[in-house]
Structure 1
């Protein structure tokens, strides 16, 4: 779940959703608060105005004038929604339209919302009520019925809840549409980079004339890809030139050394010449491997992919190395699933498999096992031995170009064999894994090198 929340798209969708819901909630709550406050203010104004008018009448004409004013006020159309009650000093009702007066009504020095029961009404109603003490000891109660306002506000609350529920739905739709639009705008860039990752350096992001940030992103990606394509072309030219410039003098040197061996009789001199020849061949092998790694890492060679019977390839390479293994007193075993085919660079795959077997013969011990089969969504090609292996903390160093593990495995080398394996694996969209050999019976951990290739295009015959 924590990984899911790291998704920028999901977080953006959540932000849009939350902002939409927050905006709707604030609007509904604010609208309800304004309407409630407005209703309360208007009601209190009516109550206070009625109080002032009746008190003025009482001051001018006494209690009789006040009772007559109350009767007239309640008898006309204007008084339909008002509440008026006049009590004597003992709390008895002298005039008004209330059936009963709240016991604590005399304490209502400020307008208070209470339930009252008016004459000719069957049910209590909500009203704002205000009490005014009179000089003769009585109390004047004035108020206004707000039952319809309360019902309207209750209806508004229910409508607000329904609206808020709809806003949740609309916010979710808005979040989905916003993220979908972003993903849609980025699809062209993503597909282009996927194609480039598969070796199509000529791919470009489709042009977009909108002028927004996504259009600029596409332009910058295209500019970077054009630069990468140019550098890759230069690399190809440079590597080809380097191969030619280095191989030519090395070849001439090897030819010269061959001629020298036919003209000398001194055993020491002949031994020195043969050592020079061996070093020359080693330098040539290093150059070939280094150039192969550089070209594979640059994606050069994908155009040479061809559907290959991997089973037949493994068996052929094993037949070539089997006599060499026997000379070393070793056994080479092949465990390959039948009829597995996959588009690969055959020459590089031959070189990789040959390097792995050669490494086991040079650094390992015991039985050499070459295995090929399906492993989940991959095709797994592995070479294992029963030698001292490589400690786990040195696996990364073993895969590094020119990584030297002589102290771990003995012998000598340029440190390019496993680096080439990893480069070729990446060229094919795969990975390389180093591990101990679980089938080792020699008492040593052994080493198992597994090349995993995606099998989307694999075919089992």
Structure 2
């Protein structure tokens, strides 16, 4: 836009400078025509000679010829061969008498009533030089304005990028559970400041609601654990005191369900604390291969008794910042899920790798797997798919895995193992 404005100014200034010379030539032509009408060719010849003797002749170009083009009076040696006598303004390069170099001259040529030819003109080299100066000045102004515009654009871009980055960084931190993070504001009242204030108000409300919900669920789970624990104790005492086989069977079932309920409450509390970000500051550099082998050693006997073979694959020197206990619990949940639901399978693969700076931990089996359209439902809290409803479980195993992944700024992905299920944890550095 700036270039267009400067180009317009350059063209307009050039037209203005040349137009002034054109007007002067037209005025000279009109004066000479008036003199010709009143005094004829002789008066016109005398006037041309007079003008050349005065200061007006310094830039003036005049030529009067007869009908055959032979010069009668003026400061051109001959009539220009390519110049028609049509009365139009033209700029030509001509030699004036006494000049060794051609000069740019604006001329108007016409034929008089007696057949004579009259040329009036003016040397416009100074005007063209002035126009070039205007052009150079405007070109410099354009370059300067372009540099300034680019500089301002870069500066504004960096300011906008920094402000947007602050908002994006806050959003990412909130997404992984840091609900106390807020968008930085400077009180300037500009659009980004108002946006940051609005986002902070929204985050305050979300933080308050989540805190209330967490307090309620934590309190409920905590309060329920005590009576459930007492219930288990009472059932165990009753089992020790009774000799009735029917009553013992019933007490055994009650004991099993109470333990399941206590496990669910414990897991729900752990998920709630993990999603709240507790433990995020306890990540330590961990040898991932050693972690996988420790989990495999603990669950090795159970896996063998269930008819499965466990394979572990991880680089020896793979170090990554992890909350060791929570990641171990997540892998334990995934192995237990594979043992419970991978009917018809015979192997469980546990592997880890580093890709693009992210840690990828995979637990895979070759059982029946989960249909792709059910992957989302399997990750829901207390979500249990129809084939699994007749088996023991709370539907919280994958929920805990997902919460631990989010604590590590990561995600959980379910995929087909062809056959079987692949659960992939993608964990990122803080």
The two structures have a TM-score, normalised by structure 2, of 0.87
Per-residue CA shift, 1:404-439, capped at 9, x if unaligned?
3344898464432222211210111122233344xx
* Aligned equivalents of 2:306, 2:169: Cα separation in 1: 51
**Does the alignment pair 1:421 with 2:411?**
no
- Cα distance in 2 for residues equivalent to 1:173 and 1:247: 64
Return closer, same or farther for 1:341/1:147 CA change in 2, 3 Å cut-off. closer
Q: Check if 1:293 corresponds to 2:284.
A: no
Whether the 8 Å CA contact 2:176–2:406 is kept in 1: the answer is no
Question: What RMSD over aligned residues (CA atoms) do the two structures have, in Å?
Answer: 3.0
- Work out whether residues 305 and 344 of structure 1, in 8 Å CA contact, stay in contact via their aligned partners in 2: yes
Q: 3-state SS of the aligned residue for 1:390? A: coil
Give 1:234 shift.
2.6
Name the SS for the 1:119 alignment partner: coil
| 1:68, distance to aligned residue in structure 2 (A) | 0.7
Q: Indicate if the aligned counterparts of 1:106 and 1:133 stay in contact, CA closer than 8 A.
A: no
Q: In the alignment, which residue of structure 1 is the partner of 2:329?
A: 351
Distance 1:98 1:221, change over 3 A: same
Q: Matched residue of 2:96: which SS?
A: coil
Tell me if structure 1 keeps the 8 A contact 2:221–2:268: no
Could you tell me how far 1:348 is from its partner in structure 2?
2.5
Structure 2 vs 1, CA of residues 422 and 122 (structure 1 numbering), >3 Å: closer, same or farther?
Answer: same
Aligned equivalent of 1:368: 348
> Cα 1:434–1:410, aligned 2, differ >3 Å: closer, same or farther?
farther
Which of 436, 441, 451 matches 2:425? 451
Gaps of 5+ in 2: none
The CA distance in 2 between the partners of 1:167 and 1:394, in whole Å, is 60
Change (3 A) 1:339 1:88: closer
- CA contact under 8 A between 2:178 and 2:276: conserved in structure 1? no
Q: Secondary structure at the match of 1:26?
A: helix
Choose the corresponding residue for 1:44, options 18, 22, 31.
Answer: 22
User: Residues 232 and 298 of structure 1 are in contact (CA less than 8 Å); yes or no, is this contact kept in structure 2?
Assistant: no
The 1-side partners of 2:63 and 2:36 are apart by 14
Contact 2:70-2:78 at 8 Å conserved across structures: no
When residues 47 and 340 of structure 1 are mapped into structure 2, their CA distance, relative to the original with a 3 A threshold, is closer
Structure 1 residue 352 displacement after superposition = 1.0
CA contact (8 A) 1:106 1:139 kept: no
User: Match of 1:18?
Assistant: none
Deviates more, 1:189-198 or 1:47-56: 189-198
In structure 1, the residue corresponding to 2:88 is in which secondary structure?
coil
1:380 aligns with 2:354: no
CA shift for structure 1 position 305? 4.1
Secondary structure, in 3 states, of the residue corresponding to 1:89? coil
Greater mean deviation of Cα atoms: 37-46 or 150-159: 150-159
1: CA distance, partners of 2:36 / 2:322: 109
Residues paired across the two proteins, number: 428
The alpha-carbon deviation at position 190 of structure 1 amounts to 5.2
1:186 CA drift (Å)? 5.1
CA positional deviation for 1:295: 3.2
For residues 378 and 124 of structure 1, what CA distance do their matches in structure 2 show? 77
Secondary structure in 2 matching 1:296? helix
| Alignment gaps of 5+ in structure 1 | 1-21, 438-443, 457-461
Distance across 2 between alignment mates of 1:136 and 1:309: 112
Describe the SS at the equivalent of 1:362: helix
Q: In the alignment, is residue 27 of structure 1 matched against residue 5 of structure 2?
A: yes
Cα 1:375–1:187 shift into 2, 3 Å: closer
Tell me whether 1:389 sits opposite 2:369 in the alignment: yes
Secondary structure of 1:114's counterpart equals strand
Among residues 356, 381, 391, which one is paired with 1:401 in the alignment? Answer: 381
* Pairing 1:92–2:70 present: yes
Aligned partners of 1:433 and 1:450 also within 8 Å = yes
Is this contact kept in 1: 2:65–2:118, CA < 8 A?
A: yes
Pair 1:137 & 2:115 matched: yes
In structure 1, what is the Cα distance between the partners aligned to 2:356 and 2:16?
70
Q: 1:117 to 1:135 in 2, by over 3 A?
A: same
Asked if residue 219 in structure 1 is aligned to residue 185 in structure 2, the reply is no
More divergent stretch after superposition (231-240 vs 348-357)? 231-240
Q: In structure 1, how many angstroms separate the alpha carbons of the residues matched to 2:257 and 2:357?
A: 43
Closer/same/farther in 2, CA of residues 343 and 137 from structure 1, 3 Å limit: closer
Aligned with 2:211 (options 209, 225, 233): 233
Change (3 A) 1:330 1:131: closer
